[in-house]
Amino acid sequence: MVIDMITTQRYEAILNFLNENSNGTINDFVKLTGTSSATIRRDLTHLEDEGLLSRIHGGATIDRIESEASYTDKAVRNLKDKIRIAKTAAALIEDGDTLFIDAGTSTYEMLPFINKKNLTIVTNSVTLISSLVRDGHTVYLLGGKVKPTTYAIIGTEAVDKLNSLSFDKCFIGTNGIDSAHGYSTPDGEEAAIKWTALKQSKAKYILGDASKFHKTAFVKFAALGDAALITNDLKSEFVKKIGEETNVIGEV
């Protein structure tokens, strides 16, 4: 006999099912959770209101992140949340640190809050470089191909260089944060940069606002336990769940 799940467990089960299968019917979710179709309809309505899935006739679907929006488009999304996250991230930097800062809109928002001295900063971001140099830091820009959508430098040359370096801390952006799929991005070459920087760093931080929760992109670059997550919604059920696997940092 299937035992009825509590509400938060049903939400998690439904979202995990959709992340694995892209869509599902009400009957699928009834079998999965052991609850009634009326309960499932209420659950789907709630999850749709939270922006975590889309209702379709007879069930629900979830959009995988298969392509990436332009840097300009991403920069204006959830900006207040990104600024809060960036401020928290920058506060972790100490005088004399050697850092890797990833290309991304959340990491870009760190720049006004980086106020420590004698920093050595490596980045693969064309967007970050001018501000970092202007602020007087010792800055290195990785060589390689520039990705037009994110202005990130990617490719084997950049990965090879990262493998020869070591960092006190790294700050990495992500497109998706999922309890099963971990941290992910649509582009395999960017994933290689992110994973290599994490591997070469003593302290590892991933920046991701709540809009990334329950989202998966094509390429996983790290498991939840591979880095601490800096985010903006510590009260969410999702954060409480993944907090069992990784350190989550942010404002309550």
Best CA proximity match to 155, nearest among 196, 114, 119: 196
Measured on CA atoms in the order 150, 151, 152, 156, is the torsion positive or negative? Answer: positive
Question: In the chain, which residues have pLDDT < 70?
Answer: 1-5, 50-51, 63-78, 252
Instruction: Please write the tens of the pLDDT for every residue from 81-96.
Output: 999 999 999 999 999 9
CA 140 to chain centre: 24
Domain segments of the chain: what residues?
7-61, 71-249
Q: What is the pLDDT of residue 61?
A: 82
Strands 59-61 and 54-56: antiparallel
Q: What pLDDT score was predicted for residue 179?
A: 86
Helix (H, G, I), strand (E, B) or coil at 112: helix
Amino acid residing at 103: A
Looking at this protein, which amino acid is placed at residue 57? H
> Same topology for domains 7-61 and 71-249, yes or no?
no
CATH architecture of residue range(s) 71-249: 3-Layer(aba) Sandwich (3.40)
Integer Cα distance of 37 and 23 in angstroms = 16
Supply 79's token pair.
């900006």
Asked whether the beta carbons of 182 and 224 are under 8 A apart, the reply is yes
* Residue 76: per-residue pLDDT: 47
How many angstroms separate the CA atoms of 195 and 79, rounded? 25
* Spatial contact of 169 and 99, defined as CB atoms under 8 Å apart: yes
User: Among the residues of the chain, which ranges form H helices?
Assistant: 7-21, 26-33, 37-49, 71-75, 79-90, 105-108, 126-134, 156-162, 188-199, 237-242
Pairing of strands 120-123, 98-101: parallel
Dihedral (CA of 27, 30, 32, 34) sign: negative
Q: b/e map of 56-81 (b: 16 or more CB within 10 Å)?
A: eeebbebebbeebeebeebbeebeeb
CA-to-CA distance for 205 and 93, rounded, in angstroms? Answer: 11
Quote the pLDDT of residue 78: 67
- Predicted pLDDT at 47: 83
The separation between CA 10 and the C-alpha centre of its own chain, rounded to angstroms, equals 23
Structurally, at CATH architecture level, domain 7-61 sits in Orthogonal Bundle (1.10)
3-class state of residue 9 by DSSP? helix
> According to the model, what pLDDT value does residue 2 have?
41
Distance CA 218, CA 32 (A): 25
> How far is 193 from 190, CA to CA, in rounded Å?
5
